[in-house]
Amino acid sequence: MTEEAELPQAPKEAQAVFGEFLPEAVRYAELLADAGVKRGLIGPREVPRLWERHLLNCAVLSEVVPEGVTVCDVGSGAGLPGIPLALVRPDLKITLLEPLLRRTNFLQEVVELLGLDHVTVVRGRAEEVLGTLQPVHVVTARAVAPLDRLAGWGVPLLRPYGEMLALKGGTAEEEIQGARAALNKLGVVETEVLRVGEGLVDPTSTVVRVVAGESPGGVRFAAKRAKAARTGRTRRRR
């Protein structure tokens, strides 16, 4: 029987990042280290590095999220990056989108325990909620899929000229090059790699920023959105 990994105390950088919401961040870390591990949402080996590798790494994404926008966290899993972002940015309206029931149950419990009134949990896949979920200003994601596939899920959920912010690793530039053709088909007009969290996380967090044009997802998804919207109106009239 292996010994349970112990959650370390919040590092000094956590105070700088979470500010007045540090107690809620600590509570979230405790939930991840306990229920998150027991339910298989994170591995036990991640517990000692929860702060540096997960909470802080995700929270600094807030540096590049515009003020007062709507956000959809695609494939939210255990709530990363959506929950840390919600803790530091009460001005945002955030949807945590996750297909697995055991994960959405956990997310709902976290949202209620932490009093995150500006966060909504939705169970489903990105392609399933297209046309029913209101288009958002920003889509976030972390460790969900390669960029070409991730963009295929996230970009169609955006409003015109919205942006997808994907936390990635050291191969971000190569992923952009490999996904160029797919991004063009999705109506993407701009891509760049950003580094966030200078002086707060080491190494800094790498973010791929993908900006959509007038028709996020391209022609095919515009038609799919319109069809889903018509279906929704028909159901409401019945």
**pLDDT tens by residue, 121-157:** 999 999 999 989 999 999 999 977 899 999 999 999 9
Reported as a pLDDT band with limits 50, 70 and 90, residue 2 is very low
| 136-142 β-sheet, strand order | 119-123, 93-98, 70-74, 136-142, 158-168, 205-212, 188-196
Residues 159, 216: contact at Cβ < 8 Å? yes
CA atoms in the 13 A half-sphere facing the CB of 37: 16
pTM of the complete model: 0.91
**At a CB cut-off of 8 Å and minimum separation 6, what does 218 contact?**
185, 186, 187
Q: What residues are paired with 99 via a beta bridge?
A: none
Provide the 8-state DSSP code for 100. Answer: -
Taking each helix axis from N to C end, the angle separating 101-114 and 22-31, rounded to the nearest 10 degrees, works out to: 150
Residue 229 banded pLDDT, cuts 50, 70, 90: low
Q: Among candidates 137, 139, 141, 103, which has minimal Cα distance to 122?
A: 103
pLDDT of residue 210: 97
What is the tens place of the pLDDT at every residue in 15-62?
999 999 999 999 999 999 999 999 999 999 999 999 999 999 999 999
If you average pLDDT over every residue of the chain, what do you get?
92
